[in-house]
Amino acid sequence: MFTPKYPPQDTAPAPTAATPAVYSSVPPAPSTNRPSVQLTAGSTLALVAGGGALVLVVGAVLVSMLLAVAITAVSVAVCAIVVRSILRESRP
């Protein structure tokens, strides 16, 4: 019941001389003669150093954001404890 039903092979009519193929008149894409990038030892070293610096900078930014969130959470918790103790002392 759930097995796929495949159509029989080669059911399309073969093109004849009277009916040329639709895509036969499309010219091939022009080939460009762009020079490929040549990496020397110095440029490879510069790429590796730049990538390492980028990773360090992004890591430092993420760690500082995490530290800012942690400091804010601690300060909010301390404020909540102080407010609770003030409210507890004001009760008769």
- Res 60 pLDDT > 90: yes
Joined tokens for residue 23: 């895509």
Q: What is the pTM of this model?
A: 0.49
Alpha-carbon distance of 28 to 14, in angstroms, equals: 23
Confidence of residue 45 (pLDDT cuts 50, 70, 90): very high
- Res 73 pLDDT > 80: yes
- Which residues are within 8 A (CB) of 21 and not within 5 positions of it... i.e. 6 or more apart? 15
Mean pLDDT within 35-39: 79
CA distances from 32 to 19, 28, 37, 60, 91 (A): 33, 12, 14, 43, 85
% of the chain exceeding 70 in pLDDT: 77
Confidence of residue 24 (pLDDT cuts 50, 70, 90): low
